[in-house]
Amino acid sequence: MTSAISAIIDGKIIPTAAGAPIPVIDPASEETIVEIAEAEPALVDRAVASARRAFETGPWRRMDVESRQAVLRACADAIDGATDELAALECANTGIPIGQVRDRQVARSAYNFRFFADYIGQATAELYEQDPNYLTFVRREPVGVAALISPWNAPIALGSMKIASAIAFGNSCVIKPAEQAPLGVNLLVELLQKAGVPAGVVNLLNGRGATTGDQLVRHDDVDLVSFTGGTATGRAIMAAAGAGLKPATMELGGKSANIIFDTADFDQALDAALLSIFTTNGQQCLAGSRILVQRGIAGRFVEAFIARTKALRIGHPLEAGTEIGPLASRRHLDHVLGFVPVTERPGVHILTGGRRAPGFERGNYIEPTVVAVDSIDDRICQEEIFGPFAAVTVFDTAEEAYALANGTRFGLVSYVWSQDIATVMEAQDRLSSGIVWCNTPMMRELRAPFGGYRDSGVGAEGGRAGEAFYTRQKAVSIPRRPLTLRKLGMQQGA
Ligand code: NAD
């Protein structure tokens, strides 16, 4: 199955549409897997109308919580049941090694639905009764129709998070996956229909950002916008959402520092540094792309890091042993290679990699790259490269490490490695990012908010953060007993 569909609207698959063709390319062979037709404006209108109808008159938001939980759990089971098919599609379309897709991203997609099923079963509400004459309670109601815009780097893991959190609280939605890698999300949304999500609750549109995506965000009948993608795109989408006074969350880019103190557990820090930058071919917002290592262990650490980087298995993403697959597109490969210094410049030295991987006639393969950079001001340390490309900088003092770590416009994740608890506690306090991972690589606790500071985003995803975004509060006041009201217009002598 290719899952080459233009849209899913009101529970029905629309296999082809009249819009512009969009080739979906296999990054390993650079061949076109399939062409999908962009959802033209009339289809965007239909998708939003379907979501609106489902929200206003459909059963979903009125369903008792246990029934809604049962559907969300059926969605998780359907994803689990289609693991192989989902993993194969996602892998073929993104170039992410199959093991990582199957064990992490498909599993996470199913978990997202189970998590929100559990979450809504534990909902609590606010009640105020300080005024003895009144009860005031605060209800959380679904907001309406959510536009969900997702990127190409982890399509089903990120798309499922958005869909699960939007619908768990009773909203309906329209998702537009990235045009480069829509196939996994297409199948995911098909699976949700079969799992019993009522028609119109989850709609899908395929198309490019500037056309389909922009129309969706600006649509009058869209109530809120959830976006994951690049910072420049996030700015444009937030402006468009703002014009319509639509609440929006922005999960944007990162340039995360991985600080390794002399007091770190050397082996764990080394393993984790490799995982943090090279998982998902380095195409992760949360990648530990700036390795800051303290001088006392820097020589030994960098030497070991380079040796392990050189030993990474580059290969076809469908091969079981592959650790680094091709980058998602030729355009993105060129973007990443554009950061390799063509001639050495002062303070910048290529330690390994920096070219297309030899031995591959086709495909967007790149050698995992490590570059030593002395100055934080270099563009290698300031711009998001989004590939298997690590910058290493040596520091002496903790103060210097914090200045380096906090010295970009981004603020998504910081990683800290030290066996000294005081060092860790001071670091988590001083680091200016939405997430700090101490002595661990990526650790996603779904109950906690995931969101960035500054250019890394606005708002967050997760349990309570999702609830806050996907519901609106209604304060209801009721007197406990008949009130004695002032009687206007009944003054004596009137
Ligand atoms: P992108 O910004 O190019 O595109 C993301 C999505 O936005 C796509 O679906 C695209 O079609 C759509 N889009 C583009 N312009 C639009 C517009 N004007 N209106 C509406 N939709 C529009 O991002 P990308 O290259 O697909 O993804 C990579 C980026 O995503 C990286 O910067 C990465 O850091 C970021 N990301 C962030 C997180 C996070 O949680 N913070 C997670 C994953 C990826």
Residue whose entry in the numeric block shows the structure tokens 């080459």: 4
To test ligand 1's pocket by mutation, which of 36, 108, 112, 149 has the most ligand atoms within 8 angstroms of CB?
Answer: 149
- Looking at the CA of residue 179, tell me the nearest atom of ligand 1: 11
The stretches of 130-287 forming alpha helices (DSSP H) are 155-168, 183-194, 214-218, 231-243, 266-278
pLDDT at 76: 98
**At 123, is the pLDDT very low, low, confident or very high (cuts 50, 70, 90)?**
confident
Distance (Å) from CA 145 to ligand 1 centroid: 20
The whole-angstrom separation of Cα 394 and Cα 292 is 6
Span 447-465, average pLDDT: 97
What tokens does 390 get? Answer: 């690590």
Catalytic residues: 251, 285
How confident is the model over 330-349, as pLDDT tens digits? 999 999 999 998 777 889 99
pLDDT at 283: 98
pLDDT at 393: 98
To test ligand 1's pocket by mutation, which of 219, 233, 235 has the most ligand atoms within 8 angstroms of CB?
Answer: 233
Report the CATH architecture of 7-252+456-477: 3-Layer(aba) Sandwich (3.40)
Minimum CA distance residue for ligand 1 atom 16 = 209
Which among 213, 157, 222 has a CA at the least distance from the CA of 185?
Answer: 157
- Looking at the CA of residue 149, tell me the nearest atom of ligand 1: 9
How confident is the model over 278-317, as pLDDT tens digits? 999 999 999 999 999 999 999 999 999 999 999 999 999 9
Distance (Å) from CA 119 to ligand 1 centroid: 27
- 1 has a pLDDT exceeding 60: no
Rounded to 5 degrees, what are φ and ψ at 73? -70, -35
The whole-angstrom separation of Cα 91 and Cα 30 is 14
- 29 has a pLDDT exceeding 80: yes
pLDDT at 491: 78
Minimum CA distance residue for ligand 1 atom 8 = 178
- State the virtual CA torsion across 320, 96, 264, 405 in degrees, nearest 10: 170
The whole-angstrom separation of Cα 146 and Cα 488 is 45
Helix (H) or strand (E) holding 86: helix 83-94
- Pairing state between β 32-37 and 21-25: antiparallel
To test ligand 1's pocket by mutation, which of 219, 225, 228, 281 has the most ligand atoms within 8 angstroms of CB?
Answer: 228
- Is residue 82 a contact partner of residue 44, using CB atoms and an 8 Å limit? no
To test ligand 1's pocket by mutation, which of 24, 153, 386 has the most ligand atoms within 8 angstroms of CB?
Answer: 153
- Looking at the CA of residue 180, tell me the nearest atom of ligand 1: 26
Q: Where are the beta strands (DSSP E) in 279-434?
A: 290-294, 348-352, 369-373, 389-395, 413-417
pLDDT at 209: 97
- Looking at the CA of residue 233, tell me the nearest atom of ligand 1: 2
Distance (Å) from CA 229 to ligand 1 centroid: 2
- Long-range CB contact pairs, 382-385, < 8 A, 24+: 382/255, 382/408, 382/409, 383/255, 383/339, 384/230, 384/231, 384/253, 384/254, 384/255, 384/289, 384/410, 385/282, 385/289, 385/335, 385/336, 385/339
How confident is the model over 176-204, as pLDDT tens digits? 999 999 999 999 999 999 999 999 999 99
Distance (Å) from CA 178 to ligand 1 centroid: 7
Minimum CA distance residue for ligand 1 atom 43 = 285
Indicate the domain borders of the chain: 7-252+456-477, 257-438
pLDDT at 415: 98
Of all residues in the chain, the percent with pLDDT exceeding 90 is 95
pTM, rounded to two decimals: 0.96
pLDDT at 269: 98
Please classify residue 383 by burial: count the beta carbons closer than 10 Å to its beta carbon, then call 0-12 exposed, 13-18 middle and 19+ buried: middle
- Looking at the CA of residue 177, tell me the nearest atom of ligand 1: 9
Span 98-114, average pLDDT: 97
The overall average pLDDT reported for the chain is 96
Can you spell out the DSSP letters for 339-368? TS-SS-BTTEEEEE--SBPTT-SSS--B--
- Looking at the CA of residue 178, tell me the nearest atom of ligand 1: 9
How confident is the model over 406-429, as pLDDT tens digits? 999 999 999 999 999 999 999 999
pLDDT at 493: 63
What tokens does 144 get? Answer: 């309406």
Question: In the CATH hierarchy, which top-level class contains the domain 257-438?
Answer: alpha beta
| 24 CB-near residues (< 8 Å, 6+ apart) | 4, 32, 33, 34, 35, 36, 93, 180, 181, 182, 183
CA atoms within 13 A on the CB side of 209: 17
- Is residue 173 a contact partner of residue 225, using CB atoms and an 8 Å limit? no
Distance (Å) from CA 49 to ligand 1 centroid: 25
Helix axes 65-81, 107-120, angle to 10 degrees: 170
Minimum CA distance residue for ligand 1 atom 26 = 151
- Find the residues whose C-beta lies inside 6 A of ligand 1: 149-153, 158, 176, 178-179, 208-210, 213-214, 217, 228-230, 233, 236-237, 251-254, 285, 384, 386, 412, 452, 457
- 494 has a pLDDT exceeding 60: no
How confident is the model over 127-167, as pLDDT tens digits? 999 999 999 999 999 999 999 999 999 999 999 999 999 99
pLDDT at 17: 74
